[in-house]
Amino acid sequence: MERKEPKSTRDAYGDALLELGQNDKVVVIDADLSVSTQTNKFAKKYPGRFFNVGCAEQNLMGVAAGFAISGKVPFASTYSMFLMRGLEQIRNTIGYDNLNVKLCVTHSGLTNSSDGASHQCLEDICCIKAIPNITILIPVDSIETEKVIESEINRKGPCYIRLNREKTPIIYDENYEKKFGQYKFELGKAVKLREGNDLGIIATGTTVHIVLEAADILEKEGINTEVLNIHTIKPIDKNTIIETAKKTGRILTVEEHSIIGGLGSSISEILSENYPVTVKRIGVRDKFGESGEYKELLEKHGLTKENIVISTKELLNNENFY
């Protein structure tokens, strides 16, 4: 089957909402950013079930909660950074009451590159992860985004879906098939994209395709890495992570997020309690974002295949590259 052209996960989200619109329980709420979040597609086709609350993110959370209580399935969207303005309502209303609200945020990480620190969110996983009841999902490409949305419409409970602005290379085809076999999307289940014995590399979201490129380079040099895609940060797949650690003895994590409280922290917590091995984390190191070209920002924070290759070799040689 011919692969789709790369596109951003926010675009895939907008397309997925159109399919969900056939279900009259689905409502979409936005905070005056419907073109950017791609919810404008739903608004045009289903105007009676689309609501723009304006630049009022706390109200966005309250309206979404109200719809959930009334039996609707609300998808509430804005930039990941701006959603942080409604953190109290997410905690005290949506999380505490375990409401069926789907928080779908775009422009996550560094992908809103040109707008700088005020629009780049590098701590959202950390903040949301600490709130009970909320599932956290980070799809790797447009195909996985569709599967994530499809899964969430059939699951009751709050979720946080982290989407990006930039076009992302396709990892899966329309049958959700990877080059090592076919599997069904499963909430909370890590995906093993490559088998390897020398090192385990665990990534999420935008960084997965970069890791796969690095793994190809390393393979040519005789280093076989095991690559896991963690599309569900919470609940996270402890068993597969521990299995990879036992198999490889060393773990490298890669994420477009602060290394504090994100994927790397979760992996470290799991392994320190269950199977201690050396874990090195690649991500943003306790810094705010800044304006720049997206590619340049990735390079600055080491989120490149070249740095992953270097870091892998340093880790295999037991060098500390913090």
Q: Distance (Å, rounded) from C-alpha 195 to C-alpha 212?
A: 12
In angstroms, the CA 309 to CA 307 distance is 5
CA distance 158 to 98: 6
* Residue 155 burial (10 A CB sphere; 0-12, 13-18, 19+): exposed
Residue from 19, 57, 195, 296 carrying the catalytic annotation: 57
∠ Cα 83 89 90 (to 5°): 65
DSSP 3-state of 149: helix
Across-strand partners of 103?
76, 160
Q: Could you give the 3-state DSSP secondary structure of residue 269?
A: helix
Quick count: other Cβ atoms within 10 Å of Cβ 48? 8
How far is 10 from 142, CA to CA, in rounded Å? 8
**Residue 57 appears among annotated catalytic residues:** yes
Question: CB–CB of 73/64 below 8 Å?
Answer: no
Catalytic residues, which ones?
57
